[in-house]
Amino acid sequence: MQATFIRHLPTEWNKKAWLQGRRDIAISPLTGKQQEEIQKNQQLLSQLSPFDLVLVSTLKRTNQTARLYGFHAKKEGLLDELDFGEFEGRPKAELMEAYGRLWTETPSKMTLGESVQNLEYRIIRFLDKYKEKENILIFGHGSWIRAIISYAQYGHINNMNKTQVRNNECITLLLDGLRIE
């Protein structure tokens, strides 16, 4: 399966470096630069299309992003962002101060609002559910996309916080042959 991921457009909380998680935050008004990035990504998407399926999480920021790209997407709860629990609405720096090395080295041992290991299980269930699709487009979230990148490269999500995915970044992964248990 080929999967193309676009992280949702920025929200006011992204601009402040606050963790959003499951909070249903709307995207910010578009800037001219972001409109140019959308046009550039749309050109790439036209080369990658047709898509068998276009998906968004249940959170409005992914659906709003998909619509600005011209897509009416199917909602998929497995794509919801990691639940950061008490850290939602707080600066990411506070999470780093509280968990530091654990967050960067072995996040799968952490439990916030949900266990990070559950995020990995959601990724595995997602891969199993859509394994028959050949080419899908997903408007998603930073932690989720970083986690699937780590899973695709290493077979686990513990390297998810050693990479960065910017808002509105477009990433295509080949997900054939991954371990699905």
Higher pLDDT, 176 or 150: 150
Question: Angle at the Cα of 77 (from 72 to 80), degrees rounded to 5?
Answer: 95
Query: Average pLDDT in the 56-85 region?
Result: 97
| Strand partners for 19 | 88
Beta bridge partners of 171: 5
Q: Is residue 25 in a domain?
A: yes
User: How many domains does the chain contain in total?
Assistant: 1
For residue 179, tell me if it sits in a domain.
Answer: no
Asked whether the beta carbons of 156 and 149 are under 8 A apart, the reply is no
Report the share of the chain in percent with pLDDT over 70: 97
Supply the pLDDT for residue 71: 97
Q: Is the pLDDT of residue 177 over 90?
A: no
CA distance 77 to 122: 9
Name the DSSP letter for residue 177: T
Find out whether 157 and 147 touch, Cβ atoms under 8 Å. yes
Q: Is residue 140 part of a domain?
A: yes
CB of 113 within 8 A of CB of 83? yes
Whether 90 is in a domain gets the answer yes
pLDDT tens-place string over residues 73-104: 999 999 999 999 999 999 999 999 999 899 99
CATH code at 161? 3.40.50.1240
Q: Which two tokens mark 86? A: 């008490």
Q: Nearest CA to 176 among 125, 135, 147, 118?
A: 135
Triad 77, 155, 54: Cα angle to 5°: 35
- pLDDT-derived band at 124, boundaries 50, 70, 90: very high
Domain membership of residue 24 (yes or no) is: yes
Residue 181 belongs to a domain: no
Q: Which of 25, 41, 23 is nearest to 33 (CA)?
A: 41
Domain that holds residue 106: 2-174
